[in-house]
């Protein structure tokens, strides 16, 4: 009897495995025999990004695989990504463990923007883009806030100017302080416990790496949730912490709200909640959840991304002193040396712009963007894509494409300078993603990168201790980090 049950179970498992792990007809090229539960994960090796590079070489620009039990399609070329990532059926995000939040909407969806879907996402994203534009996204007040943070950062760097230091954490705190001011209207000292606490919990999130276990957790939510509860990643703890810190501030804003005096992003959100013409996602409890969701998105998506890019800038500035000098000269020519350069003057500093563009290409800090899910059976080119497939934008492949960028590993800002000496950005430099869910903070990020690089190089010359570090030494994290390096900020005046 027991023997028959074991045989029946065995036959059923083989049947299930065969049925579940076979791709449909006309599915993109993919490995043949995935492992039960693990899928093709063992083929990827230590790091998912290099694993995808090897698969691209073997299968081409569009390929499929199983990560755990999840069917995936990876797209590596710019043109296909532009077409596909703008299609409505590929707009939604899958519910993955890293989207876990302390709050959920009534229908179980994630509040906010980065992991929300459907009309909730449409309304919240549209409002946030407009609101940030009205309150200074790309306009002067936002620039004033950033100028203040640049000044405080420079003072902080000045204190330790005799020491070689790891700058990555310093930038984190400055960027968090700027976001705090934009969202809450309040100043946050660099040594404030709130700044340290947000920085601490976000660094925890960063522990998610490209290792097989991290990758598997992305596609097996149950495993991810268990690892999260065991504090292996602690996404939920990080988001709860941000909610805990912002809750009293939101309450205070509600108590002192004046419709004719909008002070910051939170006020602007409360104004929308009081406006009956705004959609369902602003009303009642749903609106409250969405406000916390957006604040969490801002801190999670808008701090490490910028501070890591700035850290890469420091690596390249110290690698290439002649480029550093060129940036200093450009800025001095425009400002005559005694004021911060304005963002609107950037066209007069083409090499500086090209340097930042090339840093974003080489740093490639979010190499696989955020995942999307296919909402109905459909086609990409002639390939059949079944509903429920996860789609990955391989931004790494786009930005390392040797046809578009000859000698792609070489750091060469001059590739973005035209014959007239002007900055000529490339559409194929896509650090902010492609399509309808492209980064919402792009304008803020571009302004911050420009202001911090010009502000810091105006005041200091950056020296590095170890000369041999190159950009290929990178940590296989979810966000790409250079290996730790130490620089000294030598005052110029
Ligand atoms: C150098 C800095 C940054 C980089 C490289 C970056 C990169 C990205 C990427 C690759 C995505 C995914 C796009 C996709 O799935 O197609 C994204 C989404 C997002 N980013 Fe950024 N980001 C940066 C800064 C910021 C900042 C400063 C904020 C806000 C304060 C922000 C907020 C968001 C949000 C809310 C989303 C989700 C958009 C949506 O799902 O509709 N990011 N970012």
Q: What is the mean pLDDT of residues 109-114?
A: 92
Q: Give the ligand 1 atom nearest the CA of 437.
A: 41
For ligand 1, pick from 295, 358, 432 the residue to mutate: most ligand atoms within 8 Å of CB: 432
Q: Is the CB of 305 under 6 A from ligand 1?
A: yes
Q: Is the CB of 441 under 6 A from ligand 1?
A: yes
User: In sequence order, what are the residues at sequence separation of 6 or more whose Cβ sits closer than 8 angstroms to the Cβ of residue 381?
Assistant: 62, 80
Residues paired with residue 70 on neighbouring β-strands, in sequence order? 67
Q: What is the pLDDT of residues 156-211, one digit of tens each?
A: 888 877 788 888 778 888 899 989 988 998 888 888 888 888 877 666 555 554 45
For the chain, what percent of residues have pLDDT higher than 90? 57
Q: What is the mean pLDDT of residues 374-391?
A: 96
DSSP string, 116-134: --HHHHHHHHHHHHHHHHH
Q: How far is the CA of 304 from the centre of ligand 1 (A)?
A: 11
Q: Does 374 belong to an annotated binding site? A: no
Work out the mean pLDDT of the chain and round it to a whole number: 87
Instruction: Inform me whether the pLDDT recorded for 103 exceeds 50.
Output: yes
Residue 477 confidence class, pLDDT cut points 50, 70, 90: low
Q: Is the CB of 436 under 6 A from ligand 1?
A: no
Q: Is the CB of 366 under 6 A from ligand 1?
A: yes
- Number of folded domains in the chain? 1
Nearest C-alpha neighbor of 172 from the set 151, 196, 148: 196
For the chain, what percent of residues have pLDDT higher than 70? 86
C-alpha triplet 440, 228, 295: angle, nearest 5°: 30
Instruction: Inform me whether the pLDDT recorded for 15 exceeds 80.
Output: no
- Tokens at 243, concatenated: 């909610």
Q: What is the pLDDT of residues 330-366, one digit of tens each?
A: 999 999 978 999 999 999 999 999 999 999 999 999 9
Domain-embedded: residue 344: yes
pLDDT given for residue 36 in this prediction = 78
Q: How far is the CA of 430 from the centre of ligand 1 (A)?
A: 11
Give the residue, by CA position, lying nearest to ligand 1 atom 40. Answer: 114
Q: Is the CB of 44 under 6 A from ligand 1?
A: no
Domain-embedded: residue 17: no
Q: Which domain holds residue 234?
A: 34-491
Contact (CB, 8 A) for 390 and 369: no
CA distances from 102 to 98, 243, 315, 329, 413 (A): 12, 8, 37, 49, 43
Domain-embedded: residue 10: no
According to DSSP, residue 211 is labeled S
pLDDT given for residue 253 in this prediction = 96
Q: Is the CB of 431 under 6 A from ligand 1?
A: yes
Q: Is the CB of 439 under 6 A from ligand 1?
A: yes
Domain-embedded: residue 21: no
Domain-embedded: residue 166: yes
Q: What is the mean pLDDT of residues 443-471?
A: 87
Q: What is the pLDDT of residues 80-102, one digit of tens each?
A: 999 999 999 999 998 876 666 67
Q: Of 227 and 156, which is predicted with more confidence?
A: 156
pLDDT given for residue 138 in this prediction = 41
Residue 9 confidence class, pLDDT cut points 50, 70, 90: confident
Instruction: Inform me whether the pLDDT recorded for 139 exceeds 50.
Output: no
Q: What is the mean pLDDT of residues 296-300?
A: 89
Domain-embedded: residue 106: yes
Residue 376: give its domain's CATH number: 1.10.630.10
Rg (CA), the chain: 24
Domain-embedded: residue 9: no
pLDDT given for residue 481 in this prediction = 82
């Amino acid at each position: 009897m027991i023997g028959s049950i074991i045989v029946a179970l065995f036959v059923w498992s083989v049947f299930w495995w065969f049925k579940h792990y076979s791709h449909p007809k006309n599915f993109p090229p993919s490995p043949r025999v995935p492992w039960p539960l693990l899928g093709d994960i063992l083929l990827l090796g230590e790091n998912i990004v290099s694993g995808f590079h090897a698969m691209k070489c073997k299968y081409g620009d569009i390929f499929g695989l199983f990560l755990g039990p999840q069917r995936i399609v990876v797209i590596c070329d710019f043109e296909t990504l532009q077409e596909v990532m703008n299609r409505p059926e590929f707009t939604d995000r899958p519910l993955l463990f890293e989207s876990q939040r302390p709050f959920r909407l009534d229908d179980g969806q994630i509040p906010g923007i980065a992991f929300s879907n459907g009309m909730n996402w449409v309304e919240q994203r549209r409002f946030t883009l407009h609101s940030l534009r009205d309150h200074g996204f790309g306009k002067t007040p936002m620039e004033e806030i950033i100028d203040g943070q640049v000044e405080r950062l420079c003072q902080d760097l000045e204190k330790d100017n005799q020491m070689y230091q790891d700058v990555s954490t310093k930038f984190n705190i400055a960027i968090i302080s700027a976001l705090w001011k934009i969202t809450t209207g309040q100043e946050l000292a660099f040594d404030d416990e709130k700044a340290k606490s947000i920085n601490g919990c976000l660094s925890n999130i960063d522990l998610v790496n490209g290792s097989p276990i991290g990758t598997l957790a992305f596609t097996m939510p149950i495993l991810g949730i268990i690892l999260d509860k065991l504090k292996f990643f602690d996404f939920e703890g990080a988001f709860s912490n941000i909610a805990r810190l912002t809750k009293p501030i939101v309450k205070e804003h509600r108590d002192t709200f004046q419709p004719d005096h909008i002070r910051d992003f939170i006020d602007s959100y409360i104004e929308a909640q009081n406006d009956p013409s705004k959609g369902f996602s602003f009303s009642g409890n749903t609106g409250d959840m969405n406000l916390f969701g957006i604040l969490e998105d801002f801190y999670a998506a808008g701090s490490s991304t910028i501070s890591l890019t700035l850290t890469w800038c420091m690596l390249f500035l110290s690698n290439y002193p002649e480029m550093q000098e060129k940036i200093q000269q450009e800025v001095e020519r425009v400002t005559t040396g005694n004021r911060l350069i304005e963002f609107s003057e950037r066209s007069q500093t083409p090499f500086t712009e090209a340097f930042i563009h090339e840093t974003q290409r080489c740093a490639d800090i979010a190499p696989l963007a955020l995942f999307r899910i296919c909402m109905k059976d459909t086609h990409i080119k002639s390939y059949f894509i079944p509903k429920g497939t996860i789609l990955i934008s391989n931004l790494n492949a786009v930005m390392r494409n040797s046809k578009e960028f000859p000698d792609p590993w070489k750091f060469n800002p001059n590739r973005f300078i035209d014959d007239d000496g002007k900055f000529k950005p490339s559409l194929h430099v896509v650090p902010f993603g492609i399509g309808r869910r492209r980064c919402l903070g792009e304008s803020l990020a571009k302004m911050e990168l420009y202001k911090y690089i010009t502000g810091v190089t105006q005041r200091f010359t950056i020296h590095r201790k170890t000369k041999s570090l190159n950009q290929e030494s990178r940590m296989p994290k979810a966000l790409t980090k250079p290996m730790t390096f130490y620089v000294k900020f030598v005052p110029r005046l």
